[in-house]
């Protein structure tokens, strides 16, 4: 049986794919390699995991002014996720997605969800989402 | 989400595309960011320090080229942060790599977009910058912290591309540190247990900033008392260390910084939500977090993170003039062209180079190819360098005072001023 949740749309788009749920915040600049799509932060519990083509669900990002560049570069290279869903809104991730769509025509929606919705997605396997932020999983 | 954002005619015209596709896209980014950040209106900004000129991949170059070809030019003063490479120091350039080529191309694009190419992470050391109460746009973390705290200008920390979008449109989301409410001190750092002698040492400000970064969280910290005579180099050290160790974007030094003539003003009449006692123990813990190596022979000394100031040159020159740095040790000083030229006019650059030091401009030592080959033990007087270098460069770091760094460079091994560290072991 499918469940549904409504997210706040930070950057719109439709996507569908396997869910990758991260235990801890991720830095898209320094903690992640856009060339490979792999989490390289040795302190991250999912270090070594590839985020490419996933619906990436994470609690937050670790702050860095380099975040938009890391996100845009991954989308450009095709190593990025299909969508990014965060429990804490981050303008930097949205900016990276917006710039990538403008420059390369590649869409990676960015959504914000509540902490309880984040927790409820821990064991979700697949998800589809609509441009208005409706998540089915 | 942006329904509630109020746009004036100027902004609405940009959003419609009346001023061309570059400003239209830039305003779209500013408007979307305002929505995410919860701002209800935009505020005009009069100065930008651009961080997106620091190469991190092809997307950076494509973004700048798109803006340039779509007709964008900065109309407010927009000064550049460090580049990934130096355009001035031929020897430390590495034109063979795609990264170095991309970095140089990116720096050229920002020059064509109308930036003033100062290539410095310490733009506040140059004349003609923003002043108290000015709304500005800054991305470099130490400069965000310094401009807010030491100058009293108002900026949030702007990530790459949004810094450019705000700079090109001349508007930023009105929220956070652009507002009085966002700037109020919240957590008090009580330094009354720290001996007065230590409070006069340069290491104190690096350690105190590190402690603030480690304990402030997302709150605005205030130091209970900062000597009114404390200079800009100390404020730079606190700003950079607090930003590196914990992401502090604004802080108050009561009695010294412009929004904190007294405790009541800094806290806007409210009580601190927390008080953190700064003791010899907490400072010693900060010292240990900045030191990954035991003392011993050193391969390199790195000074100037953030960029070395004119007054720091004035302190360093008497320590090294007429002496010779150990041939097995490199001493690099990172600074801006502006400050290097002032140092050269005084004969200081010459004196330091005769001693064996190398002055690097336009970039940071931890990004320059010359330094990237270093694998051994490095000594630095900069908490920010000590915080990042072990992860970024894989080197071992010893943190010390400027005098310890200079003496160690001459000896080729870590030299300690034992009296300085009494109680901080």
Q: B362: how many CB neighbours lie within 10 A of its CB? A: 27
- Please, what is the angle between helix A91-104 and helix B162-169, to 10°? 80
Query: What's the rounded mean pLDDT across residues B82-92?
Result: 76
**pLDDT at position B394:** 82
Q: Which two tokens stand for residue A19?
A: 């869910």
Partner residues linked to B242 by β-bridges: none
CB contact under 8 A, A90 and B36: yes
Mean pLDDT of chain B, nearest integer = 94
User: Per-residue pLDDT for B3 more than 90?
Assistant: no
Is A95–B159 a contact, with Cβ atoms under 8 angstroms apart?
Answer: yes
Give tens-digit pLDDT for B142-164: 999 999 999 999 999 999 999 99
Contact B5, B36 (CB under 8 A): no
The strand pair at A83-86 and A55-58 is best described as parallel
Chain A residues with beta carbon closer than 8 angstroms to that of B141: 65
Q: What H or E segment, with its residue span, contains residue A83?
A: strand A83-86
Pick the more confident residue, A21 or B374.
Answer: A21
A29/chain B closest Cα distance in angstroms: 9
Instruction: Yes or no: say if A123 and A8 are a contact pair by the CB < 8 Å rule.
Output: no
- CA dist B48 and B45 (Å) reads 8
**Residues A64, A120, A128, A136: which is the catalytic one?**
A64
CB neighbours of residue A97 within 10 Å: 27
Residue of B25, B63, B160 with shortest CB distance to A65: B160
Q: Which residues of chain A have pLDDT under 70?
A: 1
Chain B residues whose CB is inside 8 A of the A66 CB are 54, 56, 159-160
pLDDT at B2: 45
Specify the pLDDT at position B92: 55
pLDDT of residue B1: 45
Contact A65 B158 (CB under 8 A): yes
Dihedral sign of CA atoms B387, B393, B398, B400 in order: negative
pLDDT higher at B357 or B376: B357
A95 interfacial to chain B (CB closer than 8 Å): yes
Spatial distance between the Cα atoms of A118 and B167, rounded to a whole number of angstroms: 35
Give the model confidence (pLDDT) of B267-287 as tens digits.
Answer: 999 999 999 999 999 999 999
How confident is the model at residue B370, as a pLDDT?
64
Model pTM score:
0.96
**pLDDT at position B186 over 90:** yes
Looking at chain B, which residue has its C-alpha nearest residue A43?
Answer: B391
pLDDT bucket at B392, cuts 50 / 70 / 90: confident
Residue in B219, B243, B412 with CA at minimum distance from that of residue B324: B412
Crossing angle for the helix pair B202-216 and B383-393, to the nearest 10 degrees: 60
Residue A47 designated active-site: no
A65 to B63: CB separation less than 8 angstroms, yes or no: no
DSSP A10-32: EE---EEEEEEE-SS-B-SSSSE
- Measured CA to CA, the distance from residue A107 to residue A14 in angstroms comes to 8
Contacts of residue B69, defined as CB under 8 A and 6 or more positions apart, other chains included, come to none
User: Of A10, A73, A100, which has the smallest distance from its Cβ to B56's Cβ?
Assistant: A73
pLDDT in tens, B293-312: 888 999 999 999 999 999 99
Angle at A55 between CA A103 and CA A61, to 5 degrees: 75
User: Using an 8 Å Cβ cutoff, are B159 and B186 in contact?
Assistant: no
Of A63, A73, A90, the CB nearest to B57: A73
**Residue of B38, B56, B72, B81 to mutate when probing chain A, most A C-beta within 10 A:** B56
pLDDT digits (tens, 9 = 90+) for B194-249: 999 999 999 999 999 999 999 998 999 999 999 999 999 999 999 999 999 999 99
User: How does DSSP assign B357-375, residue by residue?
Assistant: EEEEESS-TTTSHHHHT--
Q: Do A29 and B28 touch (CB under 8 A)?
A: no
Q: Say whether A69 and B52 touch across the interface (CB within 8 A).
A: yes
| Mutation for testing the B interface, residue in A31, A68, A89 having most B CBs under 10 Å | A68
pLDDT digits (tens, 9 = 90+) for B106-134: 999 999 999 999 999 999 999 999 999 99
What 3-state DSSP class applies to B151?
helix
**What is the distance between the alpha carbons of residues B108 and B362, in angstroms, rounded to a whole number?**
13
How far lies B263's CA from each of B214, B259, B268, in Å?
A: 22, 10, 8
Burial environment of residue A48 by CB neighbours within 10 A (0 to 12, 13 to 18, 19 or more): exposed
Residue window 37-76, chain A: list those with CB within 8 Å of chain B.
63-70, 72-73, 76
């Amino acid at each position: 049986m499918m469940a549904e949740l409504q997210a706040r749309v930070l950057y719109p788009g439709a996507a569908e794919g396997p869910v990758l749920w991260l235990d801890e915040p991720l830095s898209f600049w320094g903690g992640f390699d856009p060339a490979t799509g792999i989490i390289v932060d040795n302190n991250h519990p999912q270090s070594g995991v590839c985020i490419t083509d996933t619906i990436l669900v994470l609690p937050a990002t670790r702050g860095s002014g380099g975040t938009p560049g890391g996100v845009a570069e991954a989308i450009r290279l095709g190593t990025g996720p299909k969508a990014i869903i965060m429990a804490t809104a981050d303008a930097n991730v949205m900016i990276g997605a917006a710039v990538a769509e403008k420059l390369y025509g590649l869409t990676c929606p960015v959504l914000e969800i509540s902490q309880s919705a984040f927790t409820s997605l821990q064991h979700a396997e697949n998800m589809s989402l609509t441009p208005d932020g409706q998540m089915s999983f | 989400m942006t329904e509630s954002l109020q746009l004036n005619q100027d902004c609405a015209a940009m959003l419609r595309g009346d001023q061309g596709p570059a400003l239209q896209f830039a305003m779209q980014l500013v408007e979307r960011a305002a929505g995410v950040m919860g701002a209800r209106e935009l505020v005009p900004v009069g100065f930008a320090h651009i961080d997106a000129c620091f190469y991190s991949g092809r997307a950076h170059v494509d973004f700048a080229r798109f803006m340039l070809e779509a007709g964008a030019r900065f109309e407010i003063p927009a000064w550049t942060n460090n580049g990934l490479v130096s355009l001035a120091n031929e020897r430390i350039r590495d034109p063979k790599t795609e990264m170095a080529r991309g970095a140089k191309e990116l720096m050229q694009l920002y020059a064509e977009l109308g930036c003033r190419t100062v290539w410095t992470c310490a733009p506040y050391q140059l004349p003609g910058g923003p002043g108290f109460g000015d709304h500005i746009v800054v991305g470099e973390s130490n400069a965000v912290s310094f401009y807010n705290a030491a100058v009293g200008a108002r900026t949030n920390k702007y990530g790459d591309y949004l810094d450019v979008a705000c700079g090109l449109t001349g508007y930023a989301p009105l929220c956070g540190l652009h507002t009085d409410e966002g700037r109020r001190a919240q957590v008090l750092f009580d330094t009354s247990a720290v001996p007065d002698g230590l409070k006069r040492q340069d290491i104190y400000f690096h350690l105190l900033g590190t402690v603030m970064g480690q304990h402030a969280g997302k709150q605005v910290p205030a130091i209970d008392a900062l000597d009114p005579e404390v200079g800009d180099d100390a404020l730079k050290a606190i700003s950079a260390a607090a930003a590196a160790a914990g992401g502090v974007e604004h802080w108050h030094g009561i009695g010294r910084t412009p929004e904190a003539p007294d405790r009541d003003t800094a806290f806007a009449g409210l009580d601190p939500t927390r008080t953190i006692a700064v003791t010899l123990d907490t400072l010693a813990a900060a010292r240990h977090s900045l030191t990954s190596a035991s003392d011993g022979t050193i391969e390199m000394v790195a000074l100037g993170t953030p960029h070395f100031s004119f007054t720091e040159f004035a302190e360093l020159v008497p320590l090294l003039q007429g002496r010779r740095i150990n041939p097995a040790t490199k001493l690099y000083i990172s600074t801006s062209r502006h400050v290097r030229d002032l140092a050269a006019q005084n004969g200081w650059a010459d004196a330091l180079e005769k001693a064996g030091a190398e002055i690097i401009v336009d970039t940071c030592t931890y990004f320059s190819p010359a330094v990237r080959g270093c694998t051994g033990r490095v000594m630095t007087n900069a908490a920010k360098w000590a915080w990042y270098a072990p992860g970024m460069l894989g080197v071992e770091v010893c943190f010390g005072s400027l005098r310890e760094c200079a003496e160690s460079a001459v000896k080729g091994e870590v030299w300690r001023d034992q009296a300085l560290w009494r109680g901080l072991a």
